[in-house]
């Protein structure tokens, strides 16, 4: 029998609030755990238009919708859409993979790509998809040995031991991988078991002029006209099991795949999304909101803008550089604009004030009884103390993440620390193996690296850190380099690149011919990486006590809110576990006198066309089809729709998620949120928050009419035409 702890008491509050008080809340808000849908949401979903049973949505024993949903790569969602393992996801989710196999001669990002047979499909090194095959409640096992008097650090040590035991048990005697995730700020735990496939091949994608139409200008904006999709295929061995790439591998036979409904959607139609949302912070306090507004977000925006300017200038000068940096640029640009929008949204919607009002109500409730005073009396003061210290270091920590390691040479040099240590150890027996791994790692790094671009980046990032971060937090090596060049960081960067073994493929390969620890130790890029790492460790140590208080306060605050509001259904923050969100197709009022329809059409593409701007180029063949109104069977009332809006609650990681109707059919792909609700990861705003989806009929139109891929069309089960 496990001793009942204060944490377990909080957990009991969660289950009481979930089971005993089934009160209706706004259906559109919430990233719900699909295995709890029957208990929490199924009745609401049926009223809105769901025709499926809970077992058809999520089952661990039988085929269900969840078996068609995959964790795509490191942070997107994909869906199986054929009995031959065909995977559909966003173009921007496949972007890095497409870039990795593009060359100046075969620029698949610019031109698009369509395999005409299995033999033409391109293997993607390093890409994987994961199928969720099991979920286990792990709260009791994770809390084994935990007691209320422990510090958070002590708890973390035991949690880490327990986590390893749980994962070992879940993966013993099989080829699965598992992860234990915490929910409700550490009040509850589940283990997720996955089957991972690594032989993934690129099947097709439209050119970026379709898949990325509007690019940075339209990113996070509505109306949208982007054909944001790409297609891959999962391969398996003869027994349908995961296998490394082999020509003998065959297309996966999935447990379930999504049929497609091409009948179209209308305002008010029920829709749901299943996927793997990455991270939300809906229970963040006013302290965290204000810190983001005042310090963290502006710093990220400023630093990333400089990075984009440097990359963009060099990308415009060379097709080779454009291909090398396309994926990097897109990743930086996406969250550069996100933080601009989030800050504006937090201010406009007065989110910090709303949080303060909630905290005031919480404090009044805590003071109402001796029991709540005992349990939660220190929560708000712990928040105050924790944020006072972490707030002082937050700006420097942001600069360390974004600027100090903003130049790729610094990050790459930092990875050489293990090699240096092994080279220093004369008794080490695995040098040859490590050198081989290092060579392979360097080949991957230098494939998409331009030294001249990174030299400019190093100069700019070191200058920003030096000028914007307090002098007391400057690493000694940075101060020394700056003084030696009279604070001219162009000269500093030039000196680093002239002498560093990491500055080019040629220099690094020469080092590998005669590797010595002393060469790494004396290297200027390595010295900078070590100086910045030491500063990170120093600030982390200074924050230890504050983080301890903050972690405890977050857990107790959420447990207290659940006890305070027993009639409210709470859902856990996103943490890249499978979630279901449901709602409907809807328009919205963006601002005073600004109304947005729930769908866009091909006409908007023609209206936005600008041949002088790469973001709004319309391919000649696409324009010809538009002008002839040669839409095939995919138009509605003679009009081809491109994208549509829903009220779903999504975030990063949901990109590529299927939008599914009440019968379990695919009607679109989620790919973005809207500008007016960029604060949504922290505070959901039902009147404003919308998910932007590419209409599956536009996807089919591009595959069929634009690309002429009849062989792909034959794989699909298409209803509603």
Question: Could you tell me which of 279, 276, 280, 273 has the C-alpha nearest to residue 582?
Answer: 273
- Alpha-carbon distance of 168 to 178, in angstroms, equals 8
User: 529 an active-site residue?
Assistant: no
User: 64 an active-site residue?
Assistant: no
- The DSSP element (H or E) to which 695 belongs, if any, is strand 691-695
DSSP state, 316?
H
DSSP state, 174?
S
Helix (H, G, I), strand (E, B) or coil at 410: helix
The residue with tokens 């439209």 is 206
User: 711 an active-site residue?
Assistant: no
Which of 91, 92, 225, 648 is the catalytic position? 92
C-alpha atoms less than 13 angstroms from C-alpha of 475 in its C-beta half-sphere: 23
Which of 28, 67, 218, 228 is the catalytic position? 228
- Alpha-carbon distance of 178 to 167, in angstroms, equals 6
- DSSP class per residue in 564-596: H-TTS---PPP-SS-EEEEEEB--EEEETTEEE
- DSSP class per residue in 673-711: E-GGGTTTTTS--TTT--EEEEEHHHHHHIIIIIT--HH
- Alpha-carbon distance of 718 to 665, in angstroms, equals 9
Query: How many CB atoms are closer than 10 A to CB 515?
Result: 18
- Alpha-carbon distance of 138 to 121, in angstroms, equals 41
Angle ∠(648,643,580) on CA atoms, nearest 5: 25
670, 648 Cβ separation under 8 angstroms? yes
Give the gyration radius of the chain's Cα atoms. 26
Helix (H, G, I), strand (E, B) or coil at 356: helix
Supply the angle between the helices 431-447 and 505-513 in degrees, to the nearest 10: 170
Which of 655, 657, 672, 704 is the catalytic position? 655
Question: 670: which strand partners?
Answer: 693
* Residues designated catalytic: 92, 228, 655
């Amino acid at each position: 029998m496990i001793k009942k702890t204060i944490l377990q008491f909080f957990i009991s509050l969660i289950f009481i609030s979930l089971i005993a008080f089934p009160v209706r809340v706004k259906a559109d808000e919430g990233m719900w755990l699909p295995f709890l849908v029957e208990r929490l949401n199924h009745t609401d979903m049926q009223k809105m238009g769901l025709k499926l049973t809970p077992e058809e949505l999520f089952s661990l024993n039988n085929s269900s919708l969840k078996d068609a949903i995959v964790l795509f790569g490191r942070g997107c969602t994909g869906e199986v859409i054929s009995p031959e393992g065909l995977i559909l996801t966003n173009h921007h989710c496949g972007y890095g993979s497409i870039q990795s196999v593009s060359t100046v001669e075969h620029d698949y990002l610019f031109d698009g790509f369509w395999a005409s047979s299995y033999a033409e499909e391109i293997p993607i090194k390093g890409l994987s998809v994961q199928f969720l095959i099991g979920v286990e409640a792990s709260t009791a096992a994770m809390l084994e040995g935990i007691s209320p008097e422990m510090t958070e650090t002590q708890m973390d040590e035991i949690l880490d031991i327990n986590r390893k035991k749980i994962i070992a048990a879940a993966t013993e005697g099989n080829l699965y991988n598992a992860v234990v995730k915490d929910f409700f700020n550490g009040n509850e735990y589940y283990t997720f078991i996955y089957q991972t496939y690594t032989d993934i091949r690129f099947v097709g994608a439209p050119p970026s002029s379709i898949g990325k139409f509007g690019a940075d200008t339209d990113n996070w904006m509505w109306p949208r006209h982007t054909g944001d999709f790409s297609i891959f295929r999962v391969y398996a061995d003869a027994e349908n099991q995961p296998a490394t790439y082999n020509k003998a591998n065959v297309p996966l036979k999935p447990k379930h795949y999504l049929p497609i409904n091409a009948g179209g959607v209308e305002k008010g139609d029920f829709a749901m999304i299943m996927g793997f949302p990455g991270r939300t912070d809906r229970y963040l306090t006013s302290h965290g909101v204000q810190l983001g507004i005042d310090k963290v977000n502006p710093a990220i925006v400023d630093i990333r803008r400089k990075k984009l300017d440097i990359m963009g200038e060099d990308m415009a000068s060379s097709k080779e550089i454009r291909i090398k940096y396309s994926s990097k640029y897109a990743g930086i640009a996406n969250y550069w604009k996100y933080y601009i929008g989030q800050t504006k949204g937090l201010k406009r919607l007065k989110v910090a004030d709303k949080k303060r009002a909630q905290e005031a109500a919480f404090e009044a409730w805590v003071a109402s009884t001796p029991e709540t005073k005992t349990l939660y009396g220190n929560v708000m003061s712990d928040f105050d103390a924790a944020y006072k210290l972490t707030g002082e270091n937050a700006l420097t920590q942001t600069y360390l993440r974004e600027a100090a390691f903003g130049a790729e040479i610094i990050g790459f040099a930092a990875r050489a620390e293990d090699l240096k240590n092994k080279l220093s150890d004369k008794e080490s027996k695995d040098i040859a193996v490590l050198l081989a791994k290092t060579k392979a790692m360097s080949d991957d790094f230098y494939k998409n690296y331009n030294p001249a671009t990174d030299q400019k980046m190093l100069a700019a990032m070191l200058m920003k850190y030096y000028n914007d971060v307090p002098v007391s937090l400057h690493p000694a090596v940075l101060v020394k380099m700056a003084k030696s060049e009279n604070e001219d960081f162009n000269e500093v960067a030039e000196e680093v690149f002239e002498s560093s073994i990491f500055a080019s493929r040629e220099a690094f390969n020469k080092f590998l011919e005669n590797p010595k620890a002393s060469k790494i130790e004396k290297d200027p890029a390595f010295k900078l990486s070590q100086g910045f790492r030491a500063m990170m460790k120093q600030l982390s140590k200074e924050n230890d006590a504050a983080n301890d208080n903050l972690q405890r306060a977050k857990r107790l605050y959420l447990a207290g809110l659940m006890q305070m509001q027993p009639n409210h259904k709470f859902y856990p923050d996103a943490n890249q576990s499978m979630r279901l969100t449901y709602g409907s197709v809807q328009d919205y009022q963006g601002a005073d006198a600004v109304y947005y329809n729930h769908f866009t059409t091909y006409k908007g593409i023609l209206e936005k066309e600008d041949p002088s701007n790469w973001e709004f180029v319309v391919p000649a063949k696409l324009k010809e089809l538009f002008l002839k109104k040669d839409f095939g069977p995919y138009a509605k009332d003679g009009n081809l729709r491109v994208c549509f809006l829903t009220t779903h609650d999504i975030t990063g990681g949901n990109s590529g998620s299927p939008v599914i109707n009440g019968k379990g059919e695919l009607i679109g792909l989620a790919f973005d949120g809207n500008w007016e609700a960029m604060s949504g990861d922290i505070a959901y705003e039902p009147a404003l928050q919308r998910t932007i989806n590419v209409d599956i009929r536009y996807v089919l139109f591009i595959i069929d009419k634009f690309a002429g891929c009849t062989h792909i069309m034959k794989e699909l089960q298409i209803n509603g035409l």
